[in-house]
Structure 1
């Protein structure tokens, strides 16, 4: 039942997200970038993949290990993402 923001709001939301996550390189900001990318659907396709790529770049840049979702955890990952979408941003 989740509905992403309207297309005309995406540029401003993306710019705010970039500004906010660049203020301080931290794991929390990297995770936020991923979740907001997935939820706001900035791109036509591949929002979670693109968000995860950016998250991992931010993590590596701040000296942390990247995140990878193993195939055996795919169901748990999908359920967690569904809860995220359904509980609001």
Structure 2
């Protein structure tokens, strides 16, 4: 499956990798780093979950783990967890 929107592709990969538990430890951290690589290469910002959003993120992530339904979390990530990069020198 090809996802043309870079941001959606990065978020979808991140959530997929978190849910699949690809690594022994650090699945969330590693998945966020991988998604950030995709975003940064294309100048689309970075994903960071601020402390004040952590509770809601964890609740939505748990629901995603249970259902595999991206709609419960992906808009939240777009709205509250992606920050742009200013390349002005």
Question: Same fold by TM-score, threshold 0.5 exceeded?
Answer: yes
The answer for the alignment partner of 2:11 in structure 1 is 31
The answer for the alignment partner of 2:62 in structure 1 is 82
Matched, 1:47 2:27: yes
- List gaps (5 residues or longer) in structure 2: 70-89
- 2:17, 2:36 → 1: CA distance? 13
Tell me the TM-score normalized by structure 2.
Answer: 0.69
Richer in strand (by share): 2
SS in 1 for 2:46: coil
- List gaps (5 residues or longer) in structure 1: 1-19
Richer in helix (by share): 1
SS in 2 for 1:39: helix
The answer for the alignment partner of 1:6 in structure 2 is none
Q: Is the 8 A contact 1:30 1:56 kept in 2?
A: yes
Tell me the TM-score normalized by structure 1.
Answer: 0.69
How much does 1:88 deviate?
Answer: 2.4
- 1:77, 1:33 → 2: CA distance? 16
The answer for the alignment partner of 1:65 in structure 2 is 45
